[in-house]
Protein backbone atom coordinates (compact mmCIF):
# COMPACT_ATOMS: atom_id res chain seq x y z
CA UNK A 1 0.00 0.00 0.00
CA UNK A 2 2.70 2.46 1.02
CA UNK A 3 4.77 1.44 -1.98
CA UNK A 4 1.77 1.96 -4.26
CA UNK A 5 1.17 5.47 -2.95
CA UNK A 6 4.88 6.33 -3.22
CA UNK A 7 4.99 5.09 -6.81
CA UNK A 8 1.95 7.18 -7.74
CA UNK A 9 3.42 10.20 -6.00
CA UNK A 10 6.72 9.84 -7.85
CA UNK A 11 4.84 9.58 -11.14
CA UNK A 12 2.86 12.73 -10.32
CA UNK A 13 6.08 14.63 -9.59
CA UNK A 14 7.58 13.50 -12.93
CA UNK A 15 4.40 14.62 -14.71
CA UNK A 16 4.42 18.03 -13.01
CA UNK A 17 8.05 18.50 -14.05
CA UNK A 18 7.04 17.55 -17.59
CA UNK A 19 4.36 20.24 -17.53
CA UNK A 20 6.94 22.82 -16.43
CA UNK A 21 9.12 21.76 -19.35
CA UNK A 22 6.15 21.92 -21.72
CA UNK A 23 5.05 25.39 -20.59
CA UNK A 24 8.64 26.60 -20.89
CA UNK A 25 9.03 25.31 -24.42
CA UNK A 26 5.60 26.59 -25.47
CA UNK A 27 5.60 30.03 -23.92
CA UNK A 28 9.29 30.98 -23.83
CA UNK A 29 10.57 29.29 -26.97
CA UNK A 30 7.69 28.72 -29.41
CA UNK A 31 5.77 31.90 -28.54
CA UNK A 32 8.83 34.01 -29.38
CA UNK A 33 9.35 37.68 -28.65
CA UNK A 34 6.16 39.30 -27.38
CA UNK A 35 7.76 42.61 -26.37
CA UNK A 36 6.05 44.34 -29.32
CA UNK A 37 2.75 44.01 -27.47
CA UNK A 38 4.04 46.00 -24.52
CA UNK A 39 6.18 48.66 -26.17
CA UNK A 40 5.23 51.53 -28.41
CA UNK A 41 5.85 50.76 -32.07
CA UNK A 42 8.59 53.43 -32.12
CA UNK A 43 10.29 52.16 -28.96
CA UNK A 44 14.03 52.69 -28.95
CA UNK A 45 16.37 49.69 -28.65
CA UNK A 46 17.16 51.02 -25.18
CA UNK A 47 13.54 50.77 -24.05
CA UNK A 48 13.35 47.31 -25.53
CA UNK A 49 16.47 46.25 -23.63
CA UNK A 50 14.99 47.66 -20.44
CA UNK A 51 11.83 45.58 -20.97
CA UNK A 52 13.95 42.47 -21.52
CA UNK A 53 16.04 43.18 -18.42
CA UNK A 54 13.00 43.93 -16.27
CA UNK A 55 11.46 40.54 -17.09
CA UNK A 56 14.78 38.66 -17.19
CA UNK A 57 14.29 37.93 -20.90
CA UNK A 58 17.94 38.90 -21.52
CA UNK A 59 19.13 35.88 -19.53
CA UNK A 60 20.29 32.79 -21.48
CA UNK A 61 17.62 30.14 -22.06
CA UNK A 62 19.13 27.19 -20.16
CA UNK A 63 22.42 28.03 -18.45
CA UNK A 64 24.97 30.85 -18.65
CA UNK A 65 27.93 28.88 -20.00
CA UNK A 66 30.29 31.87 -19.73
CA UNK A 67 30.22 31.65 -15.92
CA UNK A 68 31.84 28.91 -13.80
CA UNK A 69 29.43 26.10 -13.00
CA UNK A 70 29.75 26.67 -9.24
CA UNK A 71 28.68 30.30 -9.31
CA UNK A 72 24.98 31.14 -8.95
CA UNK A 73 25.18 33.22 -12.12
CA UNK A 74 25.72 30.02 -14.12
CA UNK A 75 22.29 28.80 -13.10
CA UNK A 76 20.54 32.16 -13.35
CA UNK A 77 18.76 31.44 -16.63
CA UNK A 78 15.27 31.86 -18.01
CA UNK A 79 14.61 28.19 -17.39
CA UNK A 80 15.65 28.28 -13.73
CA UNK A 81 13.57 31.38 -13.16
CA UNK A 82 10.66 29.70 -14.94
CA UNK A 83 10.92 26.70 -12.59
CA UNK A 84 11.14 28.88 -9.47
CA UNK A 85 8.33 31.17 -10.60
CA UNK A 86 6.10 28.20 -11.43
CA UNK A 87 6.51 26.65 -7.99
CA UNK A 88 6.37 29.83 -5.93
CA UNK A 89 3.64 31.54 -8.04
CA UNK A 90 5.81 34.67 -8.03
CA UNK A 91 5.61 35.39 -11.76
CA UNK A 92 4.26 38.89 -12.36
CA UNK A 93 1.96 40.11 -15.08
CA UNK A 94 3.51 42.14 -17.90
CA UNK A 95 0.36 44.20 -18.05
CA UNK A 96 -0.35 45.02 -14.40
CA UNK A 97 2.71 43.88 -12.45
CA UNK A 98 0.49 41.85 -10.15
CA UNK A 99 1.90 38.52 -8.97
CA UNK A 100 0.10 35.29 -9.86
CA UNK A 101 -0.23 34.23 -6.22
CA UNK A 102 -2.05 37.43 -5.32
CA UNK A 103 -4.18 37.21 -8.47
CA UNK A 104 -5.30 33.70 -7.54
CA UNK A 105 -6.05 34.74 -3.95
CA UNK A 106 -8.14 37.65 -5.21
CA UNK A 107 -9.97 35.95 -8.04
CA UNK A 108 -10.41 32.31 -7.05
CA UNK A 109 -13.34 33.08 -4.70
CA UNK A 110 -15.34 34.47 -7.62
CA UNK A 111 -14.60 31.40 -9.71
CA UNK A 112 -15.55 29.14 -6.82
CA UNK A 113 -18.79 31.06 -6.27
CA UNK A 114 -19.74 30.19 -9.84
CA UNK A 115 -18.37 26.67 -10.21
CA UNK A 116 -19.07 25.02 -6.84
CA UNK A 117 -22.85 25.48 -6.90
CA UNK A 118 -22.87 24.65 -10.63
CA UNK A 119 -20.96 21.41 -10.08
CA UNK A 120 -22.98 20.36 -7.00
CA UNK A 121 -26.39 21.10 -8.52
CA UNK A 122 -25.43 19.75 -11.94
CA UNK A 123 -24.02 16.55 -10.49
CA UNK A 124 -27.01 15.84 -8.24
CA UNK A 125 -29.51 16.64 -10.99
CA UNK A 126 -27.70 14.53 -13.60
CA UNK A 127 -27.35 11.59 -11.22
CA UNK A 128 -31.02 11.74 -10.20
CA UNK A 129 -32.24 11.94 -13.79
CA UNK A 130 -29.87 9.17 -14.87
CA UNK A 131 -31.07 6.85 -12.08
CA UNK A 132 -34.67 7.59 -12.96
CA UNK A 133 -34.37 6.97 -16.69
CA UNK A 134 -32.16 3.93 -16.16
CA UNK A 135 -34.90 2.47 -13.97
CA UNK A 136 -37.55 3.25 -16.60
CA UNK A 137 -35.28 2.03 -19.41
CA UNK A 138 -36.83 1.34 -22.81
CA UNK A 139 -39.97 3.31 -21.99
CA UNK A 140 -41.06 6.56 -23.63
CA UNK A 141 -39.56 8.49 -20.68
CA UNK A 142 -36.12 6.98 -21.31
CA UNK A 143 -36.33 7.58 -25.06
CA UNK A 144 -37.43 11.17 -24.58
CA UNK A 145 -34.61 11.81 -22.13
CA UNK A 146 -32.02 10.25 -24.42
CA UNK A 147 -33.31 12.33 -27.32
CA UNK A 148 -33.27 15.55 -25.28
CA UNK A 149 -29.82 14.94 -23.83
CA UNK A 150 -28.40 14.05 -27.26
CA UNK A 151 -29.82 17.27 -28.68
CA UNK A 152 -28.59 19.21 -25.66
CA UNK A 153 -25.05 17.92 -26.15
CA UNK A 154 -24.97 19.18 -29.73
CA UNK A 155 -25.65 22.81 -28.79
CA UNK A 156 -22.48 24.66 -27.81
CA UNK A 157 -22.11 26.33 -24.42
CA UNK A 158 -21.85 29.64 -26.26
CA UNK A 159 -25.45 29.34 -27.42
CA UNK A 160 -26.69 28.48 -23.92
CA UNK A 161 -24.85 31.52 -22.64
CA UNK A 162 -26.17 34.03 -25.13
CA UNK A 163 -29.74 32.71 -25.23
CA UNK A 164 -29.78 32.32 -21.42
CA UNK A 165 -28.73 35.91 -20.99
CA UNK A 166 -31.39 37.05 -23.42
CA UNK A 167 -34.15 35.13 -21.61
CA UNK A 168 -33.07 36.55 -18.26
CA UNK A 169 -32.93 39.97 -19.84
CA UNK A 170 -36.58 39.65 -20.87
CA UNK A 171 -37.63 38.66 -17.31
CA UNK A 172 -35.28 40.52 -14.94
CA UNK A 173 -33.21 42.93 -17.06
CA UNK A 174 -30.94 43.90 -14.17
CA UNK A 175 -29.86 40.30 -13.55
CA UNK A 176 -28.58 39.73 -17.08
CA UNK A 177 -25.36 41.65 -16.66
CA UNK A 178 -23.42 39.32 -14.41
CA UNK A 179 -22.11 40.39 -11.08
CA UNK A 180 -23.31 43.94 -10.75
CA UNK A 181 -25.14 42.39 -7.83
CA UNK A 182 -23.68 39.28 -6.17
CA UNK A 183 -27.03 37.52 -5.99
CA UNK A 184 -27.12 37.52 -9.81
CA UNK A 185 -24.62 34.64 -9.82
CA UNK A 186 -27.60 32.30 -10.22
CA UNK A 187 -27.88 33.17 -13.90
CA UNK A 188 -24.44 31.85 -14.97
CA UNK A 189 -24.80 28.96 -12.49
CA UNK A 190 -28.08 27.91 -14.09
CA UNK A 191 -26.54 28.17 -17.55
CA UNK A 192 -23.54 26.07 -16.51
CA UNK A 193 -25.86 23.41 -15.07
CA UNK A 194 -28.05 23.33 -18.19
CA UNK A 195 -25.10 23.12 -20.57
CA UNK A 196 -23.40 20.25 -18.74
CA UNK A 197 -26.43 18.16 -17.85
CA UNK A 198 -26.91 16.49 -21.26
CA UNK A 199 -23.48 14.91 -21.43
CA UNK A 200 -23.49 13.91 -17.76
CA UNK A 201 -26.91 12.24 -17.91
CA UNK A 202 -25.81 10.23 -20.95
CA UNK A 203 -22.60 9.12 -19.26
CA UNK A 204 -24.21 8.25 -15.91
CA UNK A 205 -27.06 6.44 -17.65
CA UNK A 206 -24.60 4.18 -19.46
CA UNK A 207 -22.75 3.44 -16.21
CA UNK A 208 -25.94 2.81 -14.23
CA UNK A 209 -27.50 0.67 -16.99
CA UNK A 210 -24.46 -1.57 -16.77
CA UNK A 211 -25.19 -2.19 -13.10
CA UNK A 212 -29.00 -2.06 -12.91
CA UNK A 213 -29.43 -5.00 -15.32
CA UNK A 214 -27.42 -7.37 -13.13
CA UNK A 215 -28.91 -10.37 -11.41
CA UNK A 216 -28.50 -9.14 -7.85
CA UNK A 217 -30.72 -6.15 -8.57
CA UNK A 218 -33.48 -8.43 -9.85
CA UNK A 219 -33.05 -10.70 -6.84
CA UNK A 220 -33.27 -7.77 -4.45
CA UNK A 221 -36.45 -6.55 -6.14
CA UNK A 222 -37.89 -10.06 -6.22
CA UNK A 223 -37.46 -10.55 -2.51
CA UNK A 224 -39.41 -7.37 -1.97
CA UNK A 225 -36.74 -4.79 -1.15
CA UNK A 226 -38.15 -1.31 -1.70
CA UNK A 227 -37.13 0.40 -4.92
CA UNK A 228 -35.42 3.30 -3.16
CA UNK A 229 -33.22 0.93 -1.21
CA UNK A 230 -32.28 -1.11 -4.25
CA UNK A 231 -31.38 1.99 -6.25
CA UNK A 232 -29.68 4.04 -3.55
CA UNK A 233 -28.32 1.23 -1.39
CA UNK A 234 -27.21 -1.33 -3.99
CA UNK A 235 -26.94 0.12 -7.48
CA UNK A 236 -25.57 3.56 -6.73
CA UNK A 237 -22.60 2.55 -4.53
CA UNK A 238 -21.54 0.04 -7.17
CA UNK A 239 -21.48 2.72 -9.89
CA UNK A 240 -19.67 5.23 -7.76
CA UNK A 241 -16.09 4.61 -8.91
CA UNK A 242 -16.43 5.84 -12.53
CA UNK A 243 -18.83 8.60 -11.47
CA UNK A 244 -16.43 9.86 -8.81
CA UNK A 245 -13.53 9.80 -11.28
CA UNK A 246 -15.50 12.01 -13.58
CA UNK A 247 -16.24 14.33 -10.65
CA UNK A 248 -12.55 14.57 -9.75
CA UNK A 249 -11.75 15.49 -13.35
CA UNK A 250 -13.89 18.58 -12.80
CA UNK A 251 -11.94 19.76 -9.75
CA UNK A 252 -9.29 21.87 -11.55
CA UNK A 253 -12.06 23.75 -13.28
CA UNK A 254 -13.55 24.66 -9.91
CA UNK A 255 -10.74 27.08 -9.19
CA UNK A 256 -10.02 27.96 -12.79
CA UNK A 257 -13.68 28.72 -13.27
CA UNK A 258 -15.43 28.66 -16.58
CA UNK A 259 -13.46 30.58 -19.21
CA UNK A 260 -16.43 31.37 -21.39
CA UNK A 261 -19.04 32.10 -18.71
CA UNK A 262 -16.72 34.32 -16.69
CA UNK A 263 -15.59 36.41 -19.62
CA UNK A 264 -19.14 36.68 -20.98
CA UNK A 265 -20.79 37.71 -17.70
CA UNK A 266 -17.87 39.83 -16.54
CA UNK A 267 -17.23 37.73 -13.44
CA UNK A 268 -13.76 38.68 -12.11
CA UNK A 269 -12.60 35.07 -11.67
CA UNK A 270 -9.54 33.21 -12.93
CA UNK A 271 -11.13 31.92 -16.13
CA UNK A 272 -12.00 35.43 -17.22
CA UNK A 273 -8.47 36.46 -16.26
CA UNK A 274 -7.02 33.75 -18.50
CA UNK A 275 -9.08 35.00 -21.45
CA UNK A 276 -7.96 38.59 -20.79
CA UNK A 277 -4.32 37.53 -20.47
CA UNK A 278 -4.51 35.63 -23.75
CA UNK A 279 -5.78 38.65 -25.66
CA UNK A 280 -3.09 40.83 -24.02
CA UNK A 281 -0.39 38.20 -24.72
CA UNK A 282 0.48 38.34 -21.02
CA UNK A 283 2.83 35.35 -21.10
CA UNK A 284 3.70 34.99 -17.38
CA UNK A 285 0.03 34.82 -16.39
CA UNK A 286 -0.93 32.32 -19.11
CA UNK A 287 2.10 30.20 -18.14
CA UNK A 288 1.28 30.23 -14.44
CA UNK A 289 -2.45 29.61 -14.85
CA UNK A 290 -1.80 26.69 -17.23
CA UNK A 291 0.66 25.26 -14.71
CA UNK A 292 -1.72 25.69 -11.76
CA UNK A 293 -4.50 23.96 -13.71
CA UNK A 294 -2.17 21.05 -14.40
CA UNK A 295 -1.06 20.76 -10.77
CA UNK A 296 -4.67 20.73 -9.56
CA UNK A 297 -5.59 18.12 -12.14
CA UNK A 298 -2.65 15.83 -11.38
CA UNK A 299 -3.33 16.17 -7.66
CA UNK A 300 -6.96 15.25 -8.27
CA UNK A 301 -5.96 12.16 -10.26
CA UNK A 302 -3.48 11.17 -7.54
CA UNK A 303 -6.20 11.54 -4.91
CA UNK A 304 -8.62 9.29 -6.85
CA UNK A 305 -5.92 6.69 -7.41
CA UNK A 306 -5.16 6.54 -3.68
CA UNK A 307 -8.83 6.59 -2.68
CA UNK A 308 -9.53 3.71 -5.09
CA UNK A 309 -6.66 1.73 -3.61
CA UNK A 310 -7.95 2.37 -0.10
CA UNK A 311 -11.63 1.63 -0.74
CA UNK A 312 -11.57 -0.92 -3.56
CA UNK A 313 -9.16 -3.81 -2.97
CA UNK A 314 -9.64 -4.98 -6.58
CA UNK A 315 -7.78 -1.92 -7.83
CA UNK A 316 -4.72 -2.68 -5.71
CA UNK A 317 -4.54 -6.30 -6.81
CA UNK A 318 -4.76 -5.51 -10.50
CA UNK A 319 -1.31 -5.32 -12.10
CA UNK A 320 -0.71 -1.72 -13.09
CA UNK A 321 0.81 -1.25 -16.51
Partner 1 sequence: MTDAPCIFSDAPPGLPLSASPWRRTWRKLRRSPAAIVCAAVIAVYVAAAVFTSMAIEPNWGTSQDYARANLPPSTDQPFGADAFGRSVLAKTLLAAKVSLTVGLVTNVIAIPLGLLLGAAAGYFGRWIDAVVMWLVATLAAVPGIVRVIALKFAFTDTVLFGGTVFQINLGGMAGVCLALAMTFWIGTCRLVRAEALKIRQSDYVLAARASGRSGIGILFTHVLPNVMHIALVNFSLGFVAAVMAEVILSYLGIGVAVGTPSWGSMINAARSDLIVGRWWELTAAVAALSVLVLAINVLGDRIRDALDAKASAP
Those residues whose C-beta lies under 8 Å from the C-beta of residue 192, and which sit 6 or more positions away, are: 114, 115, 118, 122, 258, 261
SS3 label, residue 99: strand
Phi/psi for 253 (5° steps) reads -75, -15
User: Residue 222 Cβ, how far from partner 1 at the closest point, in Å?
Assistant: 22
Among 286, 288, 304, 305, binds partner 1 (CB under 8 A): 286
Beta bridge partners of 99: 92
- Residue 193 exposed, middle or buried by CB count within 10 Å (0-12, 13-18, 19+): buried
- The interface with partner 1 within residues 117-156 (CB under 8 A) comprises 137-138, 150-151, 153-156
Does 34 bind partner 1 (CB under 8 A)? Our answer is yes
* Helix residue ranges, H only, the chain: 2-24, 45-54, 72-75, 78-88, 100-135, 140-154, 157-171, 186-212, 215-222, 227-229, 236-249, 251-256, 259-265, 270-280, 283-311, 313-317
* Closer CB to partner 1, 100 or 298, in the complex: 298
- The interface with partner 1 within residues 202-241 (CB under 8 A) comprises 206, 209
Question: In terms of Cα–Cα distance, which of 35, 198, 216, 50 is closest to 130?
Answer: 198
Among 73, 98, 166, 186, binds partner 1 (CB under 8 A): 166
Q: By CB under 8 A, which span of 7-15, 84-92, 180-188, 216-224 interacts with partner 1?
A: 7-15
- The interface with partner 1 within residues 256-285 (CB under 8 A) comprises 256, 259-260, 263-264, 274-275, 278-279, 281
Phi/psi for 3 (5° steps) reads -65, -40
Does 79 bind partner 1 (CB under 8 A)? Our answer is no
Does 30 bind partner 1 (CB under 8 A)? Our answer is yes
Among 4, 5, 8, 16, binds partner 1 (CB under 8 A): 16
By the criterion CB under 8 A, which residues form the site for partner 1? 11, 14-16, 18-19, 21-23, 26-27, 30-32, 34, 137-138, 150-151, 153-159, 162-163, 165-166, 169, 206, 209, 249, 252-253, 256, 259-260, 263-264, 274-275, 278-279, 281, 286, 289-290, 293-294, 297-298, 321
Amino acid sequence: MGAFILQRLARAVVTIFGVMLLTFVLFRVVAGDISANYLASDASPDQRQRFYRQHALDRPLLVDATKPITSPAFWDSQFTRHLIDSVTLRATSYATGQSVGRMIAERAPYSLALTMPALAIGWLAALTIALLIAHYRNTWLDRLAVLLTTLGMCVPLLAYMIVGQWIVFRIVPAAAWGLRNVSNIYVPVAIAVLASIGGNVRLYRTIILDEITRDYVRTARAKGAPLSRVLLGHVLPNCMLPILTQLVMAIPFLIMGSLLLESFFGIPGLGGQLVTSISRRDVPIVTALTFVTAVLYVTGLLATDILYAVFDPRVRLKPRA
